[in-house]
Amino acid sequence: MIKEKVYNIVILNHHANTPDSTGGGRHYDLTKKLSELGHNVTVLASSYDNKKREYRFDEDVKETRYNENFKFVSIKTKPAYTNSVGRFLNYVNYKKKASSYDNYNVNPDVIIASSVHPLAWDAGYKLSRKYNAKFIVEVRDLWPLSMYEDFTGIKKKVVFSYFESLEKKFYNLADAIITTAPYAYEYMEQKYGTDRKKVFHIPHGLDIEEFDKLAGTSEDNLPSELNEVLNDCFCVTYTGALSKSEGLSTFVESAKFLKDHEDIKLVVVGGGPEKTRLNKIIKENKLDNVLMVDSQSKNHIPLILKKSNLLICGLMEREAFKYGISKNKFYEYMAAEKPIIFASNVRGSLITKANAGITIEPDKPEKLKETILHIYNNIDTLGREFAKNGRAYVEEHHTVQIITESFLEVISNSKKQ
């Protein structure tokens, strides 16, 4: 652990949140650990909750201190949006307000700008120039590549030209680049000639102690129907956003081939745009072996995972996935010490690497059924082995402590241009 120097760090993440809002996340956990080590950290986020379509605070700027070294700043970015145009204008407003924020106790010497959207890079660079600080770009989504399938024609050309210009500019200006995707450096090298030596892969991490604490809470916190199924059945469970990219229709459709196994239940916990479609599949096929449950508090997810028998995750084919992924869900699943099925062709499956389960091709419900039954029939041998391997892997590679050490190494070793 690097302890010689105390850093004054600013982290820009438009959608960063805290446990008292929507459950914390990468930068809350990172900042908490950095602050406990004596570093001064300020997080600049928007107070607009894009999921609930409302502001968390009425103030234009809401400052919350979690300890003497950790300040979380929520900026009221406008407009409140419900479509892509409003979202972009909100991003522009964040860039303007974040780059002009100046209520620091000590002038920052490190700026980390995270690409929940790349306009944060612009704001971060302006702050780095103002305070003569190191400028570190964090790439959590390869903009615009992550939107490759979402646009066509002239609209795609305009959107890609704009965001690619930001990529080229700020990859070049960055003193260091942190990516969550393990092979993102290939994209940067091939497309922009980015120096690989300044690109560092730091995946997501998990607060293991907090996860275990929450996994041990009372089951009375869960909906009665969910609790009953988790207690009485062999549950194959998905938790998270019900989005198209997760390939959840394949999961639900696999239930058609599992009707003869009355003790097996497929459990889907979450909300999102795919909910209507999934309910339609369930209704049309009379799938009484599938339980759909609305989104639960983030604090209840560890308990749900711990009470399940087998965990499922999927990803559709996307252009950006050829450079790998880092998915928070993986680390929660592994920490729960359960076998995992990953239905995806994504490069470098972490589930396979950790030997924490089985990776299969996406969009094949019958193959998924076969894989579920294979683990079901061997749950006390193969299933237990997968479960132990996953837990050991996340403890060794993906704790918040390890991720924090990696960030400090990048901060310490990067050279200001």
* Per-residue pLDDT tens digits for 142-191: 876 766 666 677 777 787 789 899 999 999 999 999 999 999 999 999 99
Q: What is the pLDDT of residues 209-265, one digit of tens each?
A: 999 999 999 999 999 999 999 999 999 999 999 998 899 999 999 999 999 999 999
> Is 361 within a domain?
yes
Q: Same domain, yes or no, for 259 and 324?
A: yes
Paired tokens of 185: 């450096």
Give me the pLDDT at residue 317, please. Answer: 82
Q: Same domain, yes or no, for 236 and 99?
A: no
Distance CA 87, CA 49 (A): 11
Q: Same domain, yes or no, for 48 and 69?
A: yes
CB neighbours of residue 62 within 10 Å: 16
Q: Same domain, yes or no, for 195 and 250?
A: no
**Helix, strand, or coil (residue 152):** coil
Give me the pLDDT at residue 362, please. Answer: 95
Q: What is the pLDDT of residues 258-295, one digit of tens each?
A: 999 999 999 999 999 999 999 999 999 999 999 999 99
Q: Tell me the mean pLDDT in the region 47-73.
A: 94
> Is 382 within a domain?
yes
Paired tokens of 136: 């570190």
Give me the pLDDT at residue 147, please. Answer: 67
Q: Same domain, yes or no, for 140 and 225?
A: no
> Is 217 within a domain?
yes
Q: Tell me the mean pLDDT in the region 203-211.
A: 94
CB neighbours of residue 296 within 10 Å: 18
> Is 3 within a domain?
no
Secondary element (H or E) of residue 403: helix 400-413
User: Which of these, 353, 355, 349, 263, lies nearest to 309 by C-alpha position?
Assistant: 263
> Is 104 within a domain?
yes
Reported confidence tier of residue 340, pLDDT bands at 50, 70, 90: very high
Between 55 and 148, the more confident residue is 55
Q: What is the pLDDT of residues 63-120, one digit of tens each?
A: 999 999 999 999 999 999 988 889 999 999 999 999 999 999 899 999 999 998 899 9
Whether the predicted pLDDT of 2 surpasses 50: no
Give me the pLDDT at residue 150, please. Answer: 67
Cis before 339 (ω within 30): no
Give me the pLDDT at residue 24, please. Answer: 73
Q: Same domain, yes or no, for 200 and 237?
A: no
Q: Same domain, yes or no, for 237 and 372?
A: yes
> Is 84 within a domain?
yes
CATH number at residue 139: 3.40.50.2000
Secondary element (H or E) of residue 162: helix 153-173
Q: Same domain, yes or no, for 200 and 221?
A: no
Reported confidence tier of residue 316, pLDDT bands at 50, 70, 90: confident
Give me the pLDDT at residue 151, please. Answer: 65
Determine what percent of the chain is predicted with pLDDT higher than 70: 96
Q: Same domain, yes or no, for 69 and 154?
A: yes
Whether the predicted pLDDT of 371 surpasses 70: yes
> Is 23 within a domain?
yes
User: Which of these, 68, 70, 7, 18, lies nearest to 45 by C-alpha position?
Assistant: 18
Mean pLDDT of the chain: 93
Residue with tokens 């996953």: 390
Q: Tell me the mean pLDDT in the region 347-376.
A: 97
Distance CA 23, CA 26 (A): 10
Q: What is the pLDDT of residues 18-31, one digit of tens each?
A: 887 666 789 999 99
Q: Same domain, yes or no, for 199 and 226?
A: no
Q: Same domain, yes or no, for 228 and 303?
A: yes
- Which residue type is seen at 336? A
User: Which of these, 30, 88, 393, lies nearest to 207 by C-alpha position?
Assistant: 30
Reported confidence tier of residue 1, pLDDT bands at 50, 70, 90: very low
Number of domains in the chain: 2
* Domain, as residue range, for 128: 8-205+399-413
Distance CA 379, CA 339 (A): 8
CB 200 within 8 A of CB 407: no
**Helix, strand, or coil (residue 63):** strand
Q: Same domain, yes or no, for 213 and 200?
A: no
> Is 1 within a domain?
no
Distance CA 218, CA 300 (A): 9
